[in-house]
Every structure is written in structure tokens, then in C-alpha cells.
């Protein structure tokens, strides 16, 4: 069971890193399709760059987290609001082709934290 948990964790981590990685870089390097999409959601260039920088910071924390697991969890918690924000923005504008990635990122946040042996919530 521990092996399956570990496989699920690292596959989720890889996909999480991939989606946030390309999304942040597309925003920072101002890929035309990303800029148009963000503009249609009501985000100007400044906001788009700010979101991209925030996402890139979270991605860098995820990469550092390969060596320091507690930093990985900080990166996941930092990126969670971006996932929720993307989900609500795409739902509000009925962009369902982008909605699924956002929904998956929200779910994977919980999966990553639940399957991480270095993360626990003490009540």
C-alpha cells in the first residue's frame, strides 16, 4: 500500500509541476494565446505577469522541495489559491476546456498533501 501511495504522490507531483510550470512561463513570456485568454478573463498585462511570477515562485518552491520536503508543502499551499482562482475564473466565463485542468489542480493539491509523509495537520 505504501508503494501505491508513493506512486500516486509522485505522479501527482509531476503533473502539478508540469501544469503550473507551463502556465507560469506562458504568462511571464507573454505567449499570445495566454495573454488573450487572461485578457478575456479581465486580467491586464500587469496582473497576468504578477500571477505568472507568483506561480513561478510556487514552482521553484516545488523544485527546491525535492531536496527539502517541507518547502515542497509550502509551494503546494502557495499554489492552491492560484488553482482555486483559475477554477472560479474559468467557471464564471464558461471556459470549460480550461476548467478541467483547474479542477484537477485543486484535487491534486489535496492528494499531494494527504500522500506526503512530511505533512500532517494537528488539531
User: Per-residue pLDDT tens for 32-43?
Assistant: 988 998 888 888
Q: What is the pLDDT of residue 117?
A: 86
Residue 115, all three cell numbers: 500522500
Q: What is the pLDDT of residue 45?
A: 93
pLDDT digits (tens, 9 = 90+) for 65-111: 999 988 999 999 999 999 999 999 888 888 777 788 899 999 999 99
Is the model's pLDDT at 120 over the cut of 90?
A: no
Q: What is the pLDDT of residue 23?
A: 92
Chain-wide mean pLDDT for the chain?
A: 91
CA distance 61 to 117: 18
Domain ranges across the chain: 2-115
CA distance 111 to 30: 31
Q: What would the mean pLDDT of 11-38 be, rounded to a whole number?
A: 93
Those residues whose C-beta lies under 8 Å from the C-beta of residue 29, and which sit 6 or more positions away, are none
φ/ψ of 98, rounded to 5, equals -95, -20
Closest CA to 37 of 90, 103, 1: 90
Amino acid at each position: 500500500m505504501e508503494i501505491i501511495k508513493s506512486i500516486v504522490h509522485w505522479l501527482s507531483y509531476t503533473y502539478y509541476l508540469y501544469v503550473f510550470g507551463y502556465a507560469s512561463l506562458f504568462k511571464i513570456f507573454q505567449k499570445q494565446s495566454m495573454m488573450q485568454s487572461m485578457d478575456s478573463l479581465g486580467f491586464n498585462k500587469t496582473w497576468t505577469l504578477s500571477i505568472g511570477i507568483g506561480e513561478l515562485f510556487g514552482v521553484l518552491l516545488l523544485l527546491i522541495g525535492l531536496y527539502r520536503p517541507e518547502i515542497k508543502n509550502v509551494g503546494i499551499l502557495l499554489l492552491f489559491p492560484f488553482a482555486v482562482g483559475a477554477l472560479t475564473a474559468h467557471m464564471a466565463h464558461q471556459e470549460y476546456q480550461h476548467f478541467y485542468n483547474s479542477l484537477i489542480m485543486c484535487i491534486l493539491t489535496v492528494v499531494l498533501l494527504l500522500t506526503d509523509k512530511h505533512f500532517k495537520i494537528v488539531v
